[in-house]
A and B are shown apart, each in its own frame.
Chain A
Amino acid sequence: MKDLSEKELDDFFQKSLGGKQIPFNPKAWEKMEAKLEAARKKRLLWKRLVLGLLFLLLSFSAIIYQLSVNSEQLSENSEQSSVNSEQSSENSEQSSVNSEQSSENSEQSSENSEQSSENNEQLAVNKEQKTINDNQQPTTSNQQPATNNQQPTTENKEIKDNNNGVAETSVSDGRRKFNQLLPSDQLLLNKQTKDKSAAPSDVQSQNMSDGKTDSPKTRNSEQLINNQKLTIQKVNDHTTGVQETEGGNYQKILIAIDSIHIIEKQLLVSKFDFDSLSKIKISAQIVPTDFLTGKLISPSATNFPFGRLNIGLLFSPDWSSVKFQNINQTGYKLGFEIEYQPFKRLSISSGATFSRLLYNAGGGEYTVPYGYWNATRKAPEKIWGACDALEVPINLRYALFENDRKRFFISSGISSYWMLSESYKYEYYATKPYLVDGWRGKNKNTHYLSILNFSLGYAGKLGKRTFWQVEPFVKLPLGGVGWGKIDLSSTGMFLSIRYQVIR
């Protein structure tokens, strides 16, 4: 045979090979299906890995953030504690200085009283002494505590004047001032009872005081003193109460008690006026806030308004579907959840939910076991699924906003499904009675960590320990669910009633 030219050879092969259709080979499709399944599993594995890593990253970020916030709060509290300690020591010093000044003034007062009693014998001389005392006041006015402590002496003198009935106007003026100077008088009274060898002027003061006891003004004044003591007593009681409940941070509590004692001392030795009383009341209210209800001493009252541990009953309608298509049936979820809050805004929750999942999807959405669809068992156009599953979620929850009455939060986590029962009904467009109508099974499939949860919610207080919660959610598949390995997504809205087990 003669050799073919290049062109003849090329034409021969082009014509021979062109336009030829090779008949379909079912074995080739089986290989293709196995390849598709392997690729699907690979994709799901990557999807799980990426989402899992993302979830871990978010969790760690949230925990680290929370830890850093807590450590900042701790350092702030310790700084505040040291500042308070310094203030306390300063107050103690101030108090000792005041005490010294007070004793000096008392001595001066008794001297003045002696002088005054001597002057009682001669009214003219007494008037001169009054002038001397009046002149003393501006000299000491530069030193505020000294001036305050000196005033009772002057006032005492005025009262003695009133007792002597020198001038009626002076008596009313003295009573008016007496209301403002009750603590100092109380101090003098105390000094008199302690010191039996009191000067004649002290006896006069005693008599004067006895004389004033009957007057309504004096009763009011005593009542005010008693009220003031009661206020201090309440503060002390409160302090003791906190000490009992918390049992820690003795240093802070001692500082608080010291502060209260200092306040008490200041009250007794200094000029008493209503302005300072109101300030003391305010400080008594502030003290529990600054010292006692600070985050270190009573964190449960401020950091965990919804409790450290709560348990709740949940219910939700369930709309399950493949890629959120053909949602035309409603299932439900019913279960319980336990939530533990180790940090201020971050909590972890878990529980168990019985889920009734109703859904439908095209036959192609289901990945049935290899070789299940064959000549006598054709793939249907649609499959209706009705499954009962036990869901166990593990979720992390972060409170975006939280106060004593309400909180908004976001939540994310992973769920495992235990398929308790599965029922699939096949639907064919043309009625083919010879074909099988479905598949049923019980406890055949378990899917660990195969559903990704996202939700946001709102919680509101009902009582001291109870609260309600609403939580719309989305559940996305990380792997195939059920016998048909379907990519089942779910939406719904959890309604729950919760109880704080640990506050």
Chain B
Amino acid sequence: MIHALDTDLDEVLKGCLKDHRQSQKLLYEKFYGYGMSVCIRYAKDEEDAIEILNDCFLKVFHGLKKFDLSRPFKPWFRRIIINEAINHFKKHEKRMKNELLKEAEASHAIDDILSKIAYDEVVAMIQTLTAAYRTVFNLHVIDGYKHEEIADMLGISVGTSKSNLYKAREKLQALVKEKFKIA
């Protein structure tokens, strides 16, 4: 069997253009880790992240004809993931608003965080945030978008974006403080 990492990306993409299932699987394997690392920051859990990632890959497979193969694939893929994460946020906005009310109850997850390794701990910290806080924090702090862009992407005001970021930081600060205090 041909391993995903050993296969030339161009060949894989050409196979995907022909709807070859094997090529699609190779591309999926190749970019699963990267895609998940982005998706998991926006998702509330791993299942949610997989759902977002699979939607992203579906868009990649169907939209590959529009992609210029001479350009780097990774930034295009990243852009698709972030857009999909935003769509996911918008789609589940109502449900997420309900989660906001239960924000206080989410702190019980700290115990789980402490029992995991560093990366998982950090991811878990972010996942304890509500969707609105988490999305703005990821977009601004990790992915480098400005408040104007975030407001435009999420359909909120710049003030709301800043407010959400402030509250996300405040929450994470408390979580980190808590974690280090226990450690």
B176 at the interface (CB under 8 A from A): yes
Give the number of chain B interface residues (Cβ < 8 Å).
44
A194 at the interface (CB under 8 A from B): no
Docked pose: A373 CA to B172 CA in angstroms:
45
A124 at the interface (CB under 8 A from B): no
| Chain B minimum-CB-distance residue to A31 | B54
In the complex the two chains form, is A367's CB within 8 Å of B32's CB? no
Question: What's the minimum C-beta distance from A43 to chain B, rounded to whole angstroms?
Answer: 9
Question: What's the minimum C-beta distance from A136 to chain B, rounded to whole angstroms?
Answer: 99
B79 at the interface (CB under 8 A from A): no
User: Which of A7-15, A80-88, A236-244 faces chain B?
Assistant: A7-15
In the complex the two chains form, is A21's CB within 8 Å of B177's CB? no
Secondary structure at the A interface, as helix, strand, loop or mixed, is helix
In the complex the two chains form, is A1's CB within 8 Å of B53's CB? no
A39 at the interface (CB under 8 A from B): yes
Q: Which of B24, B33, B173 contacts A36 (CB 8 A)?
A: B24
In the complex the two chains form, is B169's CB within 8 Å of A9's CB? yes
Question: What's the minimum C-beta distance from A143 to chain B, rounded to whole angstroms?
Answer: 88
| Chain A minimum-CB-distance residue to B21 | A364
| Chain A minimum-CB-distance residue to B20 | A364
Q: 1/0 contact trace for B142-183 toward A, CB 8 Å? A: 100000000000000000000000000100110011001100
A196 at the interface (CB under 8 A from B): no
| Chain A minimum-CB-distance residue to B36 | A22
Q: Which of A9, A31, A39 contacts B173 (CB 8 A)?
A: A9
Question: What's the minimum C-beta distance from A476 to chain B, rounded to whole angstroms?
Answer: 16
Inter-chain CB contacts under 8 Å: number? 100
Chain A residues with Cβ below 8 Å from B21 are 33, 36, 364-367, 379
In the complex the two chains form, is B180's CB within 8 Å of A1's CB? yes
Q: Which of A16, A365, A379 contacts B118 (CB 8 A)?
A: A16
A35 at the interface (CB under 8 A from B): yes
Docked pose: A364 CA to B7 CA in angstroms:
15
In the complex the two chains form, is B169's CB within 8 Å of A32's CB? no
Given A20-B119, A31-B54, A364-B15, are A13 and B172 also a contact pair (CB < 8 Å)? yes
| Chain B minimum-CB-distance residue to A40 | B19
In the complex the two chains form, is A364's CB within 8 Å of B37's CB? no
Interface residues of B in 1-36 (CB under 8 A from A): 1, 4, 15, 18-25, 28-29, 32-34, 36
Question: What's the minimum C-beta distance from A327 to chain B, rounded to whole angstroms?
Answer: 16
In the complex the two chains form, is B180's CB within 8 Å of A22's CB? no
Residues of A within 8 A of B (CB): 1, 3-4, 6, 9-10, 12-14, 16-18, 20-25, 28-29, 31-33, 35-36, 39, 323, 362-367, 378-379
The 23 listed contacts between A and B (C-beta, < 8 Å) are: A1-B180, A3-B177, A4-B177, A6-B169, A9-B172, A13-B141, A14-B141, A17-B119, A17-B122, A18-B142, A22-B32, A24-B29, A24-B32, A25-B36, A28-B32, A35-B54, A362-B22, A363-B22, A364-B19, A364-B22, A365-B20, A365-B21, A379-B22
